[in-house]
Structure 1
């Protein structure tokens, strides 16, 4: 597998993955929600299930954590479209060019 090193950052910047805002233990996980217990409080994280986006595409999040696991802040809780394990995954034998230009991301694209 050949990677550029930007796959994780592209996936994070896309906003399709659910990210842990706090650290804690996973007390419940389902296809539509994840319960995270941390800081003496239980946080419910709703997941997007087959929802239409503004560009007429399908938004769907798949939970990637199991019950009883300890999660750190910033860790991936659920993958979104075109991501696996929090990294960009476009398929087999796909030739992709993605290049940030002078550190600006407003006009970057996957070619």
Structure 2
């Protein structure tokens, strides 16, 4: 156990930078940034996977989904989203995205205090 003198005071951030030659890192803020990036990447993966499901649905039943190729409108977007998030992969990715978003908010709140 370390015994500090009675008049001990922790260094301020500026003093820490001066004495150590480097900046102290706010790990909570860094964690929040990383989690925010993970949330964005997972959201992008979900959207691209839904687009892939939409292409499959449109090929399977072109009369039901008459949208031009590369366009997702109306019932095609609804059906492809429901199909994707009904699958095991979609449920898992959705839950990961929610967890990453909650982590971002939590770490962001902790870094501000």
Give me the TM-score of the superposition, normalised by structure 2.
0.22
Which structure has the highest helix share of the two?
2
Which structure has the highest strand share of the two?
1
Give me the TM-score of the superposition, normalised by structure 1.
0.22
Mark the structure with the bigger radius of gyration: 2
Greater RCO, 1 or 2 (C-alpha within 8 Å, sep 6+): 2
